[in-house]
């Protein structure tokens, strides 16, 4: 996982970046946000997801490898 699509120092990620990390469609990330499964902050028209919240979600979903990288 050397080619992460996001900066390792970024505190917040976009929906597109989260989708790339999980290898899922951005629509799925938006569903997680709408369903309350993934906390996010709205900035204008875009969502930002805190890296700490993303790490917790990855661990809860059993994706320990991704949780360790985040």
- pLDDT, tens only, 22-37: 889 999 999 999 999 9
Residue 8, both tokens: 């390792």
> Domain spanning 12-69 has what CATH number?
1.10.1660.10
- Domain limits, the chain: 12-69
Is the overall model pTM greater than 0.85, yes or no?
no
In terms of DSSP H, where are the helices of the chain? 15-22, 26-34, 51-60, 64-69
Q: Which burial class, exposed, middle or buried, applies to 13 when counting CB atoms under 10 A from its CB (0-12, 13-18, 19+)?
A: buried
For 5-63, what is each residue's pLDDT tens digit?
666 677 999 999 999 988 899 999 999 999 999 999 999 999 999 999 999 998 888 87
């Amino acid at each position: 996982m050397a080619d992460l699509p996001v900066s390792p120092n970024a505190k917040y990620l976009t929906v597109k970046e989260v989708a790339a990390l999980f290898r899922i469609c951005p629509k799925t990330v938006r569903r997680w946000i709408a369903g309350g499964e993934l906390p996010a902050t709205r900035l204008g028209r875009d969502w930002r997801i805190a890296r700490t919240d993303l790490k917790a979600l990855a661990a809860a979903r059993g994706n320990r490898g991704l949780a360790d990288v985040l």
